[in-house]
Amino acid sequence: MKIGILPLVVKEVEESILEAVKNYVEGFYSKFGFRVDLLPPTTTNDLFFSYNPIRRQFLGRFFLTKVAEHRRDFSAVLGITDGDLYEEGMNFIFGLANPYLRAAIISLARLRPEFYTEKDGEVLKERAIKEAMHELGHVFGLGHCENPGCVMHFSNSIIDTDHKGKDYCEKCLNKLKRNLEGIG
């Protein structure tokens, strides 16, 4: 069983971030028999129709559809983009997932410390790992969790992301284990 990680590049998705996410996701999901493959970076030139020049953001659902096209023999595919994403009714989204497509996308745009005029460069890795684990949780059937320390807690802002941990709480973990049984 394999999970794919697909870089969807607007300007740059750093190798160091991809490696950090891959290693963390693999460290966790290998316990359930998954391997994690880093796919070659894909351009987003064919996604510019989803760009809103007034908002200067991309509509996230089209990125998700593009990720789903790369499912092939993967159990799940996670896209990582540097493009700033939004959905109708939301100012922005950190990520988006669809359990039926077994696909998810996360955006680094609002995880970057520069976005908040912070200086700590290392924090981007931590945040990317949290959002990746969160969206993969959705892919495998988890909903949002009321525990603010659980990675499945909904992040309204970067403060919530920084507050929560990188792992599933016991309740979410038990549900995840059940959901992962029988996934090929």
Q: Which residues bind Zn ion (CB under 5 A)?
A: 145, 147, 150, 152, 169, 172
Closest CA to 77 of 63, 94, 92: 63
Tell me if residue 12 is catalytic.
no
Nearest to 126 by CA among 145, 136, 111: 111
CB of 104 to Zn ion, least distance (A): 10
Burial of 123 (0-12, 13-18, 19+ CB in 10 A): middle
Catalytic member of 19, 135, 146, 170: 135
CB neighbour list of residue 132: distance below 8 Å, 6 or more residues apart: 21, 24, 25, 78, 80, 95, 106
Find the shortest distance in angstroms from Cβ 136 to Zn ion. Answer: 11
Closer to Zn ion by Cβ: residue 82 or 131: 131
Residue 129's alpha-carbon distances to 43, 62, 92, 164, 167, in angstroms, are 22, 22, 19, 11, 10
Q: How far is the CB of 78 from Zn ion (least distance, A)?
A: 13
Computed on alpha carbons and rounded to an integer, the radius of gyration of the chain in Å comes to 15
Does residue 120 sit in helix, strand or coil?
Answer: coil
> Closer to Zn ion at the Cβ: 9 or 173?
173
Please give the DSSP secondary-structure letter assigned to residue 164: S
Q: Which is nearer to Zn ion, 42 or 134 (CB)?
A: 134
Residue placing its CB nearer to Zn ion in the complex, 103 or 150: 150
**Residues classed as catalytic:** 135
